[in-house]
């Protein structure tokens, strides 16, 4: 049996709490929230044993501490909770960018007098265009891939604990280097959000009433642009180098397509569309 504390129960953190309620090996769930109104609402929802804005009421009995905050909030809260953590506690997170977070948390732990604490990064590929704990759901992580990203303070035991935890929430876990993770998510998560936002920015401005003719295609392609602008600005900035590289590759592809259209090269256009379709079918055959 383990005690789990969740720092920052928004959509993802709240979903972790709801999913933990259904686990037989979780004895106690504690939630930390910053805003008083959020604390009151969470207490009314009765999704945790303890809800508090005081880390001293949340951390001391926790075997597993889950960071579900924005990347920018991690360091300050981590420094505050380290003196409170029980001996041998394990820390994990849900952050969308891993290299900087793993390096940061490892450094803070190693520079402190808490060498008994361990951190194993994690990134469950789950979420929605909505945010906040009111949209949380226990099944959010079911069948979602979860990247497990160990660092300098990880051990085999803590890696197993964190992997088993995310497995128990329904995830399919894969062990991966933090840097490789950031390169991958830049292509399949961060770049798509930018493209979706650019499409919404340019095509849905509606100065000429074009939205009247909008069908399910553009609605689907721009859906993810509904994600929190503050959250996504931080994610994209945090993974700046990898996103820049992926964006440059995409821009080059767009330039190639523009030249194909200008030159009226029907065969090259057809080849591009066929290959793109085949990539989609191979990647997601069950859709």
- Domains in the chain (CATH in brackets) are 2-176 (3.40.50.720), 180-283 (1.10.3660.10)
| Three-state secondary structure call for residue 30 | strand
pLDDT computed for residue 30 by the predictor: 96
Q: How far apart are CA 190 and CA 174, in angstroms?
A: 19
pTM of whole model > 0.75?
Answer: yes
Ramachandran angles phi, psi of 277, nearest 5°: -65, -40
Q: How far apart are CA 180 and CA 188, in angstroms?
A: 13
Q: How far apart are CA 281 and CA 246, in angstroms?
A: 22
pLDDT computed for residue 203 by the predictor: 87
Q: Checking DSSP bridges between strand 145-150 and strand 118-124, what pairing results, if any?
A: antiparallel
- Tell how far CA 126 is from the center of its chain: 7
pLDDT computed for residue 207 by the predictor: 65
Positions of the chain with pLDDT under 50: none
Q: Tell me whether residue 264 is exposed, middle or buried, using C-beta atoms within 10 angstroms of its C-beta: 0 to 12, 13 to 18, 19 or more.
A: exposed
To which residue do tokens 């057809």 refer? 270
Q: How far apart are CA 103 and CA 244, in angstroms?
A: 21
């Amino acid at each position: 049996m383990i005690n789990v504390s969740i720092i920052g129960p928004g959509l993802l953190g709240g979903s972790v709490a709801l999913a933990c309620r259904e686990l037989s090996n979780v004895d106690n769930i504690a939630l930390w929230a910053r805003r008083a109104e959020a604390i009151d609402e969470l207490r009314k929802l009765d999704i945790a044993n303890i809800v508090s804005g005081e880390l001293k009421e949340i951390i001391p009995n926790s075997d597993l501490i889950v960071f579900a905050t924005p990347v920018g909030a991690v360091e300050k809260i981590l420094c505050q909770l380290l003196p409170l953590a029980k001996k041998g506690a394990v820390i994990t997170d849900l952050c969308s960018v891993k290299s900087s977070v793993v390096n940061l948390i490892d450094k803070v732990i190693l520079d402190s007098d808490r060498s008994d604490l361990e951190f194993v990064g994690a990134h469950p590929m789950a979420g929605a265009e909505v945010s906040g704990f009111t949209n949380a759901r226990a099944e959010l992580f079911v069948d979602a891939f979860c990247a497990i990203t160990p660092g300098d303070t990880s051990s085999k035991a803590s890696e197993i604990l964190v992997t088993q935890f995310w497995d128990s929430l329904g995830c399919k876990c894969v062990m991966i280097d933090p840097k490789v993770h950031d390169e991958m998510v830049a292509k399949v998560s961060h770049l798509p959000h930018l493209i979706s936002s650019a499409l919404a920015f340019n095509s849905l401005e509606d100065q000429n009433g074009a939205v009247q003719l909008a069908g399910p295609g553009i609605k689907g392609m721009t859906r993810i642009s509904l994600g929190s602008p503050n959250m996504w600005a931080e994610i994209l900035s945090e993974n700046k180098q990898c996103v820049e590289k992926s964006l440059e590759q995409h821009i080059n592809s767009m330039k190639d397509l523009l030249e194909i259209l200008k030159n009226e090269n029907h065969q090259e256009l057809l080849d591009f569309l066929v290959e793109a379709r085949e990539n989609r079918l191979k990647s997601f055959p069950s859709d």
